[in-house]
Amino acid sequence: MALTVLIVEDEVDFGAIVALNLTRAGFSTIVAKTGEAGLEAARTRRPDLILLDLMLPDVQGTEVVRRLKADASTRMIPIIMATARGEEIDRIVGFELGVDDYVVKPFSMREMVLRVNAVLRRGNGAAPSGEEPSYTVGPLFVDGPAHRVFLDGREIELTALEFRLLVALVTNRGRVMTREVLLERVWGIQADIETRTVDTMTKRLRDKLGTLGRHVETVRGVGYRFSEGTQEP
Ligand code: CA
């Protein structure tokens, strides 16, 4: 049976294009035009993933997420947030709302389908609550539930914070993470400590990762990115 994606989007034409592309990619789709309609559809139809617009006419996207996460019947459904403005990204990914990914409008349909597939594959939404997923990136294996990291089968000793930093970077690989977002994700605070702390810890993590360390790229003046190209010759 096809997996179902709920699209919550008030721009009708755009929602239709998104739905068409997801249908072509083999998904079933439901389109809701308001936050309330989206919440209702999530509860009654139990989609496998929700593509949620941030700017909705009735309930803000962030509030929709909060309500989805507060309801046991919808809590596990992975969410990709669609945002139109770059400055909103920090708020969304830093918000610890449980958003699995985000796309910035205008996004390409190809990118959107890739992200939907990636989130579903990652299975974040299917993981039992409290259990963290595991990741394999080239020679790196991150054992989420055990909080252990292996490089080429050899364990790397990381502190709890270094582990959280690595997970934040790896789960968003290929994308830039700002220092502020990393602070919120890793330290769980709203930039009360200096962003330089992020630089210090990233350097330490990079050193511990050895040959893989170069994949933790500095994006000058912005933050860090775990590069996708992990295939070693
Ligand atoms: Ca909108």
Q: How many residues does the chain have?
A: 233
Rounded CA-CA distance 48/140 in Å is 28
Gap from CA of 55 to ligand 1 centroid (Å): 4
189 pLDDT above the threshold of 60: no
Q: How many Cβ atoms from other residues are within 10 Å of residue 184's Cβ? A: 20
Gap from CA of 22 to ligand 1 centroid (Å): 19
Three-class SS state of 115: helix
Rounded CA-CA distance 87/212 in Å is 31
Q: How many Cβ atoms from other residues are within 10 Å of residue 56's Cβ? A: 21
- The amino acid occupying position 205 is L
Gap from CA of 112 to ligand 1 centroid (Å): 16
Cα dist. 35→38, 60, 148, 196, 216 in Å? Answer: 5, 7, 39, 38, 37
Rounded CA-CA distance 41/43 in Å is 5
Q: Structure tokens of 142?
A: 């991150």
Residue ranges per structural domain of the chain? 4-124, 135-231
118 pLDDT above the threshold of 70: yes
Q: What are the tens digits of pLDDT across the range 38-68?
A: 999 999 999 999 999 999 999 989 899 989 9
Sign of CA dihedral 192, 223, 182, 82: positive
DSSP 149: E
- The amino acid occupying position 96 is E
Q: Which residue has the higher pLDDT, 96 or 116?
A: 116
Question: Quick one: average pLDDT of 201-225?
Answer: 90
**Residue 232 — pLDDT band, cuts 50, 70, 90?**
very low
Topology alike, domains 4-124 and 135-231: no
Q: What are the tens digits of pLDDT across the range 2-48?
A: 899 999 999 999 999 999 999 999 999 999 999 999 999 999 999 99
Cα dist. 133→41, 119, 162, 221 in Å? Answer: 27, 12, 17, 31
Gap from CA of 9 to ligand 1 centroid (Å): 6
Three-class SS state of 135: strand
Gap from CA of 77 to ligand 1 centroid (Å): 21
Which CATH number is associated with domain 135-231? 1.10.10.10
Question: Quick one: average pLDDT of 189-200?
Answer: 66
Q: What are the tens digits of pLDDT across the range 64-98?
A: 998 998 898 898 888 888 887 655 665 555 445 66
Gap from CA of 82 to ligand 1 centroid (Å): 9
Gap from CA of 88 to ligand 1 centroid (Å): 13
Q: Which residue has tokens 């999530």?
A: 42
Share of the chain above pLDDT 70, in %: 84
CATH topology of domain 4-124: Rossmann fold (3.40.50)
**Residue 68 Cα to chain centre, angstroms:** 16
> What's the confidence (pLDDT) of residue 88?
61
231 pLDDT above the threshold of 50: no
> What's the confidence (pLDDT) of residue 100?
75
Q: Which residue has the higher pLDDT, 199 or 89?
A: 199
Nearest to 62 by CA among 52, 74, 48, 70: 52
Choice among 112-121, 141-150, 192-201 with the minimum mean pLDDT? 192-201
Gap from CA of 11 to ligand 1 centroid (Å): 6
Per-position b or e across 163-183, b if 16+ CB within 10 A of its CB:
bbbbbbbbbbbebebbbbbbb
Q: How many Cβ atoms from other residues are within 10 Å of residue 219's Cβ? A: 12
Q: Which residue has tokens 């939907």?
A: 116
